[in-house]
Chains A and B, each alone.
Chain A
Amino acid sequence: MAAPAAGPVKGPGTDPKQGAPGVTTPPKRRGTELVMLAFAVVITLAAQTIVDITVTGSPSPEIATFGLWFTGLWVVAHLVVRRFAPYADPLLLPCVAVLTGLGLSMIHRLDIAANALGESVSAREDAPTQLLWATVGMVLFVAVLTVVRDHRALSRLAYTIGLVGLVLLAIPAVLPSALSEVNGAKIWIRVAGFSIQPGEFAKICLVIFFAAYLVDKRDVLALASRRVLGLEVPRARDLGPVLVAWGVSILVLVFERDLGSSLLLFGIFVVMLYVATERASWLVIGVLLFAVGGTVAYQLFGHVRVRVDTWLDPFAYYPDGGGYQVVQSLFGLGTGGLFGAGLGGGRPDQVPVAKSDFIAAAIGEELGLFGLVAVVVLYLVLVERGLRTSLVVRDGFGKLLAAGLAFGVAWQVFVVLGGVTGLLPLTGLTTPFVAYGGSSLVANFGLVALLVRISDAARRPAAPPAPPAPKLGEALTEVVKP
């Protein structure tokens, strides 16, 4: 889906007037981005229309409003990028647009299913809400790009941001369960009808902090003292940071019963540590710590044990017990087969929480293996562009930040889709951009804004050319002007 024409072309958006004579300006590729965004919008609108026609027989009247609104979002995004990050990677936004649009279509489709069967308590329309959240996300996207003109500024605030991240992470654990617990996971702030998952934002804050911290300390952490079994083993005192990250992850697991975030944070930190220090020993240490934490958690916590047991044999815990969701998800995927039941043609509403945790199962059921793989490839493109940015950007902080954010998306997608397809135990993480849920969507738009910002820095010409003579002349004339 949306396979980019990756030829070495001169982007249609390249403005020849901006290139000073004799200096080659890299193509900005804004035009490519615009064309692909338009493609993403077309895909989304087609999906929505197909859903309506399949299920109700005719397109719903809201489709025009939806179409205008959705198109507007990406026009704004495009204009803001064009103005504030002209050299940004042109593939990031289109990937996000298709994923978001596909998610909205799927949520719309599940709305119809729930209402048709009269299963939802109140005939709720979640798709419009999600569109609203996408709008809020776009506001954050614009805000990040306009306020953060240079990503390196973030490194100066890193400790503050890290603290904010920790506080966000800790709030649900501290709040009384009535305000923070949904379905056993204590990861929410629920006030005045709103539910916020602060962990989604905490993740980004912590990645910023990790990046700044590791850039500072990488030399120390890379100082290996001994070689044991062919591995550079760090000094005991340098184990501090990784132990702290491990400890925080364990605390999240214990106090918020959030297996997913725990795994996500620890995974991101270890990989960033590895990237920063270039020492594979950190990966080994990370895996060992994970093994220890995992084993102990399995022994101690019922909720972890349930997840693992139902993963090993979901059918043994069906229909009563923890296996119901996974088995239903597998049924959906299996029934979808190669080509899927078609949008609106399956029964993805059979899977509990299909709109959020299991939206990938809905996609796999209705769009088939092809659709699901297309989604995976979209994520892959997004992530690899992020990692590519990291490779190209010149400052260490930017490198680590881009790597952390991109790998974070990859790790999250792997863990979520792995859970839904039975490859891994279920974790309760959300599918970025696609799944229903405001916090996740808004936070991920912020994440993409950061990637766009760094990619702009990465692809921007290294140094401005020396001021040409005529300009100097002009300046002089100005001086002598009375």
Chain B
Amino acid sequence: MNSPLRKVSISVLVLFTLLILNANYIQVVRSSELRANPSNTRILAEEYDRERGQIVVDGNPVATSVRTDDALTYLRQYPQGELYSSVTGYYSLVYGNTGIERAENEILSGSDDRLAFRRIADLFTGRDPSGGNVELTLDPAAQQAAFDGLDGVQGSVVALDPSTGAVLAMVSSPGYDPNQLSSHDPAAIRAYSDTLGAMDPDPRVNGTVDERHSPGSVFKLITSAAALEDGYSSDSVVPAPQTYRLPGTSRDLSNFGGEVCDPSGQQTLADALRISCNTAFAQLGVELGEDRIRETAQAFGIDEEPEPMPLPVVQSTVGDIDGDAQLAVASIGQQNVQITPLQGAMIAAAIANDGSLMQPYLVDQLQAPDLTVIDQTEPEEQSRPVSADVATQLQQMMVGVVEGGSGRRAQIDGYTVGGKTGTAQTTADGDDNQWFVGFAGPEGEPQIAVAVFIQGGQGTGGDLSAPVAQQVMAAYLAADGGN
């Protein structure tokens, strides 16, 4: 039996060598990666000893650290509670950090290389090292209006400055209280987390960038843009029958509520958008072809891998299109088309900015602990989905929607407002997704673009979402308009 015994002995040596090699791999090779993982609350605990930087909106902290007497020196607090939770995220002993707390963790915690020199200086001067600040692009008035507008409903609002891409408002409802996830009491944190986890949807999910939905008629803006780029004009007359037989099927597509778009069976492109005529756009989409639609959608950012802003963003998509029947349905934003609310706002912003899509961003500047600026975000053009001329026509068509079409409830006295509503059926039981995307500002110079998405509930995008968009845009224009 001695020969196999020796082999067993060697095998044990091999097994244990594997253990040791693997321990080396985890503890040495992967060590820094595991340390840097934002979910690693150990580093968090180390960080608690250091004053974490503030997240600032318009000069006021929305996340700040206060000194306490307990073992974890600094407590993270969010003075405005739920209002900015979708953006700031939380900073949790138990669950790690999310949102800006995660995306800008290196600056906030002070571990960013750009703060290295100060850290060394702190070492010598004996001053307690602290983290840098993150100044957001958010506008308090727009954010508050968006938050109030979504009170009690499930949905999202994103508002952008069309000329820069700066995010002016970002709210996902229902929200949550980040203070309760960022306390120093693990039991209470877990209890609150369980409460949130039991809700549907989990309020910690940021619906503006984490989720995508069928855009419904909002997508007609893409179809319109594709048509205009293809040589149509807003005055071009397009077929608008009462029903449209989907190519290659025996199914008929009808309009909302079975309405007639125009007794003559045809209407201008502008009118078709104004009353959101399904049959006209379905047929138009088929006419233009899948490639044209996809090309335009992609130019607006759909089916492109989104840049983190710095929050990670889910990719919007046109989805699979199998044949003309599906193309027809996709052209009116149904089928497999799915976009994030942020993408909705980007469509409106690109149109409002004369065809130039600006890269959306949330962080205006990063500051060292002594408030000197260490990084200032410069607006960047992401793409030019349509020409200035086409953009102007689209703007006028969208103004038509608000002035005399499905988006009337978005009107603001003294300003030019354009928009597009969308209603997408999600379930058989009649709950719909309500969209409104649009822009507003003084005549000819839109200053804010917005997307409002409300999930479930009865009515159309014009009924539920347009008023919320109106409040957000009006609040922003009243506070900052004309500057």
- Answer whether residue A297 sits at the interface, using C-beta atoms and an 8 A cutoff: no
Q: Is the CB of A336 within 8 A of B4?
A: no
Known: A334-B33, A391-B2, A391-B5. A347 touches B42 (CB 8 A): yes
Cα A275 to Cα B8 in complex, Å, equals 8
- Answer whether residue A36 sits at the interface, using C-beta atoms and an 8 A cutoff: no
Contact with B along A72-112 (1 / 0, CB 8 A): 00000000000000000000000000000000000000000
Minimum C-beta distance from A397 to chain B (A): 11
- Answer whether residue A350 sits at the interface, using C-beta atoms and an 8 A cutoff: yes
User: Which of B1, B3, B41, B43 lies at the interface centre, i.e. has the most chain A CB atoms within 10 A of its CB?
Assistant: B1
Given contacts A118-B185, A379-B16, 16 further A-B contacts (CB under 8 A): A119-B186, A274-B8, A331-B39, A331-B41, A335-B31, A335-B40, A337-B28, A364-B27, A372-B27, A373-B20, A384-B12, A410-B15, A410-B16, A411-B15, A417-B23, A422-B22
User: CB within 8 Å of A: which of B303-350?
Assistant: none
Contact with B along A406-444 (1 / 0, CB 8 A): 010011011001100111000000000000000000000
User: Which of A276, A350, A400 lies at the interface centre, i.e. has the most chain B CB atoms within 10 A of its CB?
Assistant: A350
- Answer whether residue A117 sits at the interface, using C-beta atoms and an 8 A cutoff: yes
Known: A407-B12, A414-B16, A423-B19. A331 touches B3 (CB 8 A): no
Residues of A within 8 A of B45 (CB): 347
- Answer whether residue A333 sits at the interface, using C-beta atoms and an 8 A cutoff: yes
Q: Is the CB of A271 within 8 A of B39?
A: no
User: Which of A368, A390, A423 lies at the interface centre, i.e. has the most chain B CB atoms within 10 A of its CB?
Assistant: A423
Cα A380 to Cα B13 in complex, Å, equals 7
Residues of B within 8 A of A327 (CB): 39
Q: Is the CB of B12 within 8 A of A383?
A: yes
User: DSSP majority for the B interface?
Assistant: helix
Cα A459 to Cα B26 in complex, Å, equals 41
Q: Is the CB of B9 within 8 A of A414?
A: no
Q: Is the CB of B5 within 8 A of A335?
A: no
Contact with A along B361-399 (1 / 0, CB 8 A): 000000000000000000000000000000000000000
Residues of B within 8 A of A338 (CB): 27-28, 31
Residues of A within 8 A of B37 (CB): 331
User: Which of B6, B26, B187 lies at the interface centre, i.e. has the most chain A CB atoms within 10 A of its CB?
Assistant: B26
Contact of A376 among B2, B16, B39 (CB under 8 A): B16
Q: Which residue of A lies closest to B34 (CB)?
A: A334
Q: Is the CB of B1 within 8 A of A396?
A: yes
Q: Is the CB of B42 within 8 A of A346?
A: yes
User: Which of B8, B31, B39, B185 lies at the interface centre, i.e. has the most chain A CB atoms within 10 A of its CB?
Assistant: B8
- Answer whether residue B18 sits at the interface, using C-beta atoms and an 8 A cutoff: yes
Known: A347-B41, A414-B19. A333 touches B34 (CB 8 A): yes
Known: A319-B39, A391-B6, A410-B12. A421 touches B26 (CB 8 A): yes
Contact with A along B76-105 (1 / 0, CB 8 A): 000000000000000000011000000000
- Answer whether residue A134 sits at the interface, using C-beta atoms and an 8 A cutoff: no
Q: Which residue of B lies closest to A348 (CB)?
A: B42
Residues of B within 8 A of A29 (CB): none
Chain B: interface size category: 35 or more
Residues of B within 8 A of A383 (CB): 12
Residues of A within 8 A of B5 (CB): 275, 387, 390-391, 399, 403
- Answer whether residue A245 sits at the interface, using C-beta atoms and an 8 A cutoff: no
Cα A350 to Cα B43 in complex, Å, equals 12
- Answer whether residue A64 sits at the interface, using C-beta atoms and an 8 A cutoff: no
- Answer whether residue A332 sits at the interface, using C-beta atoms and an 8 A cutoff: yes
- Answer whether residue A454 sits at the interface, using C-beta atoms and an 8 A cutoff: no
- Answer whether residue A318 sits at the interface, using C-beta atoms and an 8 A cutoff: yes
Cα A113 to Cα B42 in complex, Å, equals 13
- Answer whether residue A278 sits at the interface, using C-beta atoms and an 8 A cutoff: yes
Minimum C-beta distance from B45 to chain A (A): 5
- Answer whether residue A174 sits at the interface, using C-beta atoms and an 8 A cutoff: no
Known: A318-B39, A337-B31. A403 touches B23 (CB 8 A): no
- Answer whether residue A265 sits at the interface, using C-beta atoms and an 8 A cutoff: no
- Answer whether residue A253 sits at the interface, using C-beta atoms and an 8 A cutoff: no
Residues of A within 8 A of B30 (CB): 330, 334
Which B residues lie at the A interface, using CB under 8 A?
Answer: 1-6, 8-9, 12-13, 15-16, 18-20, 22-24, 26-28, 30-35, 37, 39-43, 45, 71, 95-96, 185-187, 197
Contact with B along A157-197 (1 / 0, CB 8 A): 00000000000000000000000000000000000000000
User: CB within 8 Å of B: which of A282-314?
Assistant: none
| CB-based A-B contact count at 8 angstroms | 135
Q: Which residue of A lies closest to B16 (CB)?
A: A380
Q: Is the CB of A331 within 8 A of B186?
A: no
Contact of A407 among B8, B31, B33, B185 (CB under 8 A): B8
Residues of A within 8 A of B23 (CB): 333, 364, 369, 372-373, 376, 417, 421
Cα A285 to Cα B186 in complex, Å, equals 50
Known: A338-B28, A369-B28, A387-B8. A400 touches B1 (CB 8 A): yes
Q: Is the CB of A421 within 8 A of B22?
A: yes
Contact of B40 among A118, A331, A418 (CB under 8 A): A331
Minimum C-beta distance from B135 to chain A (A): 30
Q: Is the CB of B42 within 8 A of A335?
A: yes
Q: Is the CB of B1 within 8 A of A399?
A: yes
- Answer whether residue A35 sits at the interface, using C-beta atoms and an 8 A cutoff: no
Residues of A within 8 A of B35 (CB): 334-335, 337
Residues of A within 8 A of B33 (CB): 334
List of 9 A-B pairs having minimum Cβ-Cβ separation, nearest first: A334-B34, A369-B27, A331-B40, A423-B22, A410-B12, A347-B42, A414-B15, A337-B31, A275-B4
Residues of A within 8 A of B39 (CB): 318-319, 327, 331
User: CB within 8 Å of B: which of A353-389?
Assistant: 364-365, 368-369, 372-373, 376-377, 379-380, 383-384, 387-388
Q: Which residue of B lies closest to A407 (CB)?
A: B8
- Answer whether residue A1 sits at the interface, using C-beta atoms and an 8 A cutoff: no
List, sorted by A's number, 17 A–B pairs whose CB atoms are closer than 8 Å: A274-B8, A278-B3, A319-B39, A327-B39, A333-B26, A334-B35, A335-B43, A338-B31, A373-B23, A388-B9, A399-B5, A403-B1, A403-B5, A413-B16, A414-B15, A414-B18, A417-B19
Residues of A within 8 A of B15 (CB): 410-411, 414
Minimum C-beta distance from B151 to chain A (A): 28
Contact with B along A320-335 (1 / 0, CB 8 A): 1000000100111111
Cα A159 to Cα B1 in complex, Å, equals 22
- Answer whether residue A116 sits at the interface, using C-beta atoms and an 8 A cutoff: yes
Q: Which residue of B lies closest to A117 (CB)?
A: B186
Minimum C-beta distance from A365 to chain B (A): 8
Minimum C-beta distance from B238 to chain A (A): 48
Residues of A within 8 A of B41 (CB): 331, 347, 350
User: Which of B4, B13, B40, B185 lies at the interface centre, i.e. has the most chain A CB atoms within 10 A of its CB?
Assistant: B4
User: Which of B6, B22, B96 lies at the interface centre, i.e. has the most chain A CB atoms within 10 A of its CB?
Assistant: B22
Minimum C-beta distance from B2 to chain A (A): 6
Cα A337 to Cα B187 in complex, Å, equals 29
Known: A347-B42, A400-B1. A384 touches B9 (CB 8 A): yes
Cα A335 to Cα B12 in complex, Å, equals 28
Residues of B within 8 A of A377 (CB): 16
Contact of B4 among A117, A278, A421 (CB under 8 A): A278
Q: Which residue of B lies closest to A119 (CB)?
A: B186
